[in-house]
């Protein structure tokens, strides 16, 4: 009987939904043209790292819809305690601050460097 119960529990465990997405990094570049004007490139968002630090529902769907490109992410929102700048995230002592542009954005070589 216990053996049957154990197999049943194992089956439930194995068929549980996956609690992680396959993507390690998500490249956010919908506003790459305006980024270029600021000398910056696309944002590499380390999704896997954030999965390790928080629960899915800390972010989804309260702060971000779980769909790439589904949130119109931008700096104005980041700087007004929304999205990446949500209180407790990159607008707090818990994470690096928003003025460290190159922690999120690729830095484009300037004309001088070329």
Per CB under 6 A, 91 contacts ligand HEC: no
Q: Dihedral angle at the C-alpha atoms of 96, 97, 99, 105, nearest 10 degrees?
A: 50
Per CB under 6 A, 108 contacts ligand HEC: no
The C-alpha atoms of residue 64 and residue 58 are separated, in whole angstroms, by: 9
The C-alpha atoms of residue 13 and residue 49 are separated, in whole angstroms, by: 24
For the segment 28-87, give every residue that binds ligand HEC (CB under 6 A). Answer: 28-31, 34-35, 38, 40, 43, 45, 47, 50-51, 54, 56, 58-60, 64, 66-71, 73-76, 78, 84
Q: How far is the CB of 114 from ligand HEC (least distance, A)?
A: 21
Q: How far is the CB of 95 from ligand HEC (least distance, A)?
A: 8
Closest CA to 105 of 39, 30, 51: 39
């Amino acid at each position: 009987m216990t053996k049957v119960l154990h197999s049943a529990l194992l089956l439930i465990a194995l068929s549980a939904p996956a609690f992680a997405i396959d993507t390690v990094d998500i490249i956010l570049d919908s506003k790459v043209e305006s980024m270029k004007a600021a000398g910056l490139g696309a944002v590499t968002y380390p999704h896997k790292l954030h999965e390790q630090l928080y629960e899915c529902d800390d972010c989804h769907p309260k702060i971000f819809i779980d769909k790439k490109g589904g949130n119109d992410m931008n700096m104005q929102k980041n700087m007004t305690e929304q999205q990446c700048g949500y209180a407790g995230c990159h607008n707090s002592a818990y994470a690096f601050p928003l003025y460290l542009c190159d922690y999120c954005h690729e830095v484009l070589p300037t004309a001088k460097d070329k």
